[in-house]
Structure 1
Amino acid sequence: MEKHVTIDRRQFAFGSLSAAGAMALPSAAFAQEYPARPVTLIIPWVAGGPTDIVVRAFAEAAQKHLGQPIIADNKAGGGGSVGPALMAATAKPDGYTISQMPDAVYRVKIMQKTTYDSQSDFSYIIAVSGYAFGVTVPMDSPFKTWDDVVTFAKANPGKVTYGSTGTGGTLHIGMERIQKHSGIKLTHVPFKGSAEVNVAAAGGHVMLGASGSSAKPLADAGKLRFIQIWTSKRLAMLPNVP
């Protein structure tokens, strides 16, 4: 494979439309030889989480073919919206700053004023991955099922705390919908990524963790226990979790 790739603006725009998804790049005309220097990859989560691991793997594979380093830069916060917002505000539209784009980027403008337009200010180049989400508890938690949570929460409104990857993120919105469906009130504790959520839940700093497959290593180690998964069918890797 050639060491360098040549991408003109028209080709890139077509590629972004046909592969719209999670990785975003400011729109700009590319030089004939790209990249001619290192590329910065913004990861809008704390290090060690599932997205961080997946995106870093993409970067490691890509830089071998591009012939230039791809430098990961974790900019966590805002349910994953801080990193892309930083890119929109500070990066030149030259292709040398890219960012993973979580779906919170599209929701945040509904909740507050933003300095960027998620549809017009970025060019999308590839879909990275999807996730399986669910709810965890510490191993010594008295909650054995979601029904246990509902029963306690109805008797103690607001007493049950849960951690998520940030306000407005998929896990936060998911938990809000579940609360409404179950007729309960929980207290949200936002973190900067699933790695922080998992550690907080395992340590009992929150009573529930809204997380996903990233929590499985701690579950396998006997630190966490899944009590529900947000899928239409049970997962093969968690066959006993409803």
Structure 2
Amino acid sequence: MSIRRRTLLGAAAAAPLASPALAQSGFPNRAIRMYVPWGAGGTTDIQMRVLCDQASKRLGQPIVIENKSGAGGILGPQALVSDRPDGYALSQMPISVFRNPQMNPHPPFDPMTDFTWVVHLTGYLFGIVVRADSPWQTLGEFLDYAKANPGKVNYGTPGVGTSLHITMEQIAGQKGIEWVHVPFRGVADNLSALLGGQIQATADSSGWSELVLAGRLRLLTTWGTERAKRFPDAPTLQQSGIDIVSISPYGIAGPKGMDPGVVRVLHDAFKAALFDPAHIAILDRFDMQPMYLDSEAYATFARRQFEEEGVMIRRLGLRL
């Protein structure tokens, strides 16, 4: 555990759980809906369910998960556009919310004006996995095969415009590879297709971890700055000669125009939930780290992310 992480955990543990804003505003007095724009049973779904369970204990009201998978993770955020800004509708906000409007000729929302940023949470461990009985022992062998066989390698991701899709295309661009992207609605479908032989590789978050540990899949690489602690034999992309780091950070937002007092109540509950030992255990399970930002810092981060993603999208010429 890093010094920074120990400091964050210590600070969170020392923070009081008393919430006078609850009594002052009367919020919340009924269930809160949380959109998770990914399929049930995947990494994000599992993590968000534990987070929301812990946050509901602080808020005194249930938080009901509503899965809205598909379209590269934008369906939850898109639903917020028509919701009331009363704090009873929230969504997990994948990085695709900053990309889709800049790739789409008919943007479903404007991330700079249509949301209220509540709290930033974490980022993923991404990686490329193949079947354990595949001929590729290393990332280099897999990429060499893909380059020598244009159009014959199919790889799965959670959707068009996701970090997984874009990073795989960046790898292809660097290595002169032509392969076929197959989008899925979630990690379960993605891995099922891989195990069934419909695709040759999966690029996804660490929902593949148990299958790797069980010996059914082989992890060729992870995409963080350091090797994953549970998979020390898998090199990072950078260690494999590909200068890319991808962790796809995300947080929680609501509709535009939310009352600052309501935002504060939600922020405080989710911040406490983020650092709760039960939630930290889930992050550890998926080799993820807390990446806390408060509401103001998250809004600043969102503006910067939108600008940076726009530069990348224009450079790569990405369109939906």
**Fold agreement, TM-score > 0.5:** yes
Q: Find the counterpart in structure 2 of residue 157 from structure 1.
A: 150
Q: Conserved in 2, the CA contact under 8 Å of 1:4 and 1:66?
A: no
1:2: how far off?
5.3
Conserved 8 A contact 2:101-2:108: no
Shift of 1:195: 3.0
Aligned to 1:26: none
Q: How does 1:7-18 map to 2 (within 5 A)?
A: none
> The residue matched to 2:230 in structure 1 has which SS?
coil
1:106 aligns with 2:122: no
Higher relative contact order (CA 8 A, sep 6+): 2
Residue 63 of structure 1, CA deviation: 1.0
TM-score (norm 2): 0.65
The equivalent position to 1:95 in structure 2, one of 87, 91, 108, is: 87
Deviates further, 115-124 or 100-109: 115-124
Alpha-carbon distance change, 235 to 115 in structure 1, aligned in 2, over 3 angstroms: closer
1:233 to 193, 217, 226: 226
What stretches of structure 1 of length at least 5 have no aligned partner? 8-30
- Looking at structure 1, the residues matched to 233 and 34 of structure 2 have their Cα atoms a distance apart, in angstroms, of 38
Structure 1 stretch 93-102 or stretch 201-210: which is displaced more? 201-210
2:47 corresponds to which residue? 54
Counterpart of 2:112 in structure 1 is: 119
Aligned ranges for residues 67-216 of structure 1 at < 5 Å? 67-88=60-81, 90-112=82-104, 113-216=106-209
**1:221 aligned to 2:214?**
yes
| Bigger shift: residues 117-126 or 191-200 | 191-200
Query: How far is the alpha carbon of 1:126 from its aligned partner?
Result: 1.1
Fraction of identical pairs, as percent: 40
Aligned length in residues: 218
Q: What is the distance in 1 between the residues matched to 2:120 and 2:46?
A: 15
Q: Is the 8 A contact 2:147 2:175 kept in 1?
A: no
Question: For 1:220 and 1:141, how far apart are their aligned partners in 2?
Answer: 16
Higher normalized helix content (fraction of residues): 2
Aligned to 1:196, the other structure's residue is in SS state helix
Query: For 2:62 and 2:19, how far apart are their aligned partners in 1?
Result: 12
Q: Choose from 19, 22, 44 the match for 1:6.
A: 22
| Aligned alpha-carbon RMSD (Å) | 1.8
Contact 1:44 1:77 (C-alpha < 8 Å) held by counterparts = yes
Q: Deviations over 1:84-141 (max 9, x none)?
A: 11221x3112111000000001000111021311121111111121112110001111
The TM-score with structure 1 as length reference comes to 0.84
User: Which deviates more, 42-51 or 220-229?
Assistant: 220-229
| In 2, Cα distance between equivalents of 1:217 and 1:152 | 26
Question: Which amino acid in the other structure matches residue 203 of structure 1?
Answer: G
